[in-house]
Amino acid sequence: MKGIILHGGHGTRLRPLTHTGPKQLLPIANKPMSQFCIEAISETGITDIAIIIGGIGANKVQEYYGNGEKFGVNITYIKQDEPKGIAHAIMLCKEFVNNEKFLVFLGDNIIQKSIKDFVENFKNSDYDATVLLCEVDNPSSFGIADIKDGKITKITEKPDKPTSNLAVTGIYLLDPVIFEIIDNLKPSWRNELEITDALDNLLKQNNNISYEKITDYWKDTGTPQDILHANGEIISKHPDFVRRHDSNKVIIGKNCKIGTDVKIEGPVIIGDNCEIIANSSIGPNVSVGNSSIISVTRLENSIIMDNCKVNSIVKIKNSIIASKSEIKGNSLSDDKIFLLGEGSKISL
**Per-residue pLDDT tens for 166-202?**
999 989 999 999 999 999 998 888 888 889 889 989 9
Total residue count of the chain as it appears in this document:
348
Residue 245: per-residue pLDDT:
47
Question: Domain for residue 243, yes or no?
Answer: yes
The identity of residue 293, as a single letter, is I
pLDDT of residue 58: 83
The answer to whether residues 206 and 261 belong to one domain is no
- Of all residues in the chain, the percent with pLDDT exceeding 70 is 95
| Structural domain contains residue 322 | yes
What 3-state class would DSSP assign to 90? helix
Task: Say yes or no: 218 and 183 in one domain.
Answer: yes
In a domain, residue 51? The reply is yes
Amino acid at position 36, single letter: F
Predicted local distance difference test score (pLDDT) of residue 176: 95
**Average pLDDT of the residues in 34-57:** 92
Looking at the DSSP bridge assignments, the partners of residue 6 are 52, 106
Q: Are residues 65 and 155 both part of a single domain?
A: yes
| Domain final residue pick, 196, 225, 254 | 225
- How far apart CA 96 and CA 76 sit, in angstroms, is 8
Q: Which of 50, 43, 3 is nearest to 174 (CA)?
A: 3
pLDDT given for residue 61 in this prediction = 92
3-class DSSP assignment, residue 286: strand
The end-to-end CA distance of the chain, in Å, is 53
| Among 31-35, 63-67, 227-231, 294-298, the least confident range | 294-298
Determine, yes or no, domain membership for 205. Answer: yes
Confirm whether 231 is domain-assigned: no
Query: What local confidence, expressed as pLDDT, does residue 244 receive?
Result: 52
Domain identity same for 220 and 249: no
3-state DSSP assignment of residue 210: strand
Same domain membership, residue 170 and residue 309: no
Give the three-state DSSP class for 184: coil
Q: Average the pLDDT over 11-22 and give the result.
A: 70
Residue-level pLDDT at 323: 93
Residues 161 and 97 both lie in one domain: yes
Angstrom distance (rounded) from CA 35 to CA 112: 13
The pLDDT, as a whole number, for residue 68 is 94
In a domain? residue 17: yes
Domain containing 256 equals: 238-347
**Cα gap 287→231, rounded to integer Å:** 8
Q: How many domains does the chain have?
A: 2
Average pLDDT over every residue of 199-226? 87
User: Domain check: are 217 and 100 in the same one?
Assistant: yes
The yes-or-no verdict on residue 248 having pLDDT over 80 is no
Report the DSSP beta bridge partners of residue 78: 52
Domain edge (last residue) among 225, 258, 284 = 225
Which pLDDT band, with edges at 50, 70 and 90, does 347 fall under?
Answer: confident
Separation between Cα atoms, residue 213 and residue 228, nearest integer Å: 24
Based on the fold, state whether residues 91 and 214 are members of the same structural domain.
Answer: yes
73 domain residue, yes or no: yes
- Is the domain of 248 the same as that of 309? yes
- In a domain? residue 232: no
Does residue 309 come out as left (phi exceeding 0), alpha (psi in the -120 to 50 range) or beta? beta
Q: What is the CA radius of gyration of the chain?
A: 21
Whether the ω angle into residue 284 lies within 30 degrees of 0, i.e. cis, is yes
